[in-house]
């Protein structure tokens, strides 16, 4: 029989028929109207959102009832890829093999082999490798996104405010009413045309703050073949959250 028990004050521990234990963090939300069991692609794990006043016993029963759905969703999550020696990281459509170089200095740099393969060399102590790769990728995202945003905006007769990159969970990009654009740094892990599509999408919002037919005509003007990278992002976007 499937069982559940409180693991901590804000975590349920679900036990499946085969003995597998699944910790499910609980989060109370004043805005929630009903209980919601979801899988967070950023953390790679489940979360149970509860309205205020819901008792833990009711949360347990709800989680157990939906355990089959949760098990299926977790099984389809992309495998996590840690930034470590020997890991392969895609950057704008090209795989980069991480090589730890503790005997070297210089931070992070690319080395392209004669056969066309690319390595990402990381100097310094091993405990700093993950952070240095993260910082390198964010820097690459800023360097790539900024000029493209300004170019697309200029094509529409607009000017961009600030351009920032963040680690967002639910949006690949956003445009403020002041003309500031923000993007997920993880777009640098996607093929180049996918990153370019998201930048064009947000640049079009500088003119149309909606998703009307006029908006999509602007996107098509900036990127005539936008439907292909848009479809790629819908199919594979969750995999970008599995890195790091």
The total of structural domains in the chain comes to 2
For the range 10-19, what are the long-range contacts, defined as Cβ-Cβ under 8 Å and sequence gap of 24 or more? 12/48, 12/56, 12/59, 12/60, 12/63, 14/63, 14/64, 14/67, 14/70, 16/67, 16/71
Question: Are 164 and 235 members of one domain?
Answer: yes
Question: Are 168 and 209 members of one domain?
Answer: yes
Question: Are 17 and 67 members of one domain?
Answer: yes
Question: Are 179 and 100 members of one domain?
Answer: yes
Query: Residue 170 is part of which domain span?
Result: 88-240
Assess if residue 82 is contained within a domain.
no
List, for residues 116-169, the tens digit of each pLDDT value.
Answer: 899 999 999 999 999 999 999 999 999 999 999 999 999 999 999 999 999 987
pTM of the complete model: 0.78
Question: Are 53 and 139 members of one domain?
Answer: no
Assess if residue 83 is contained within a domain.
no
């Amino acid at each position: 029989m499937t069982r559940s028990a409180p693991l901590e004050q804000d975590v349920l521990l679900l036990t499946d028929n085969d003995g597998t234990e699944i910790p499910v963090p609980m989060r109370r939300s004043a805005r929630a109207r009903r209980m919601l069991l979801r899988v967070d692609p950023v953390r790679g794990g489940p979360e149970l959102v509860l309205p205020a006043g819901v008792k833990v016993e009711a949360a347990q029963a709800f989680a157990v009832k939906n355990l089959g759905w949760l098990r299926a969703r977790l099984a389809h999550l992309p495998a996590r890829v840690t930034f470590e020696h020997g890991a392969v990281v895609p950057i704008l459509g090209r795989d980069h093999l991480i090589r730890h170089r503790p005997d070297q200095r210089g931070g992070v740099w690319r080395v392209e082999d004669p056969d066309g393969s690319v390595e990402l060399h990381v100097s310094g102590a091993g405990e700093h490798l993950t952070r240095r790769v993260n910082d390198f990728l964010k820097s690459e995202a800023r360097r790539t996104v900024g000029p493209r945003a300004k170019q697309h905006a200029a094509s529409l007769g607009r000017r961009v405010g600030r351009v920032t990159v963040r680690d967002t969970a639910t949006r690949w990009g956003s445009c403020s009413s002041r003309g500031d654009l923000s993007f997920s740094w993880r777009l640098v892990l996607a093929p180049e045309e996918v990153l370019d599509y998201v930048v064009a999408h947000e640049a079009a919002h500088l003119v149309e703050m909606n998703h009307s037919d006029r908006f999509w005509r602007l996107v098509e003007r900036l990127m005539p073949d936008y439907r292909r990278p848009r479809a790629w992002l819908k199919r594979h976007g969750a995999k970008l959250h599995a890195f790091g």
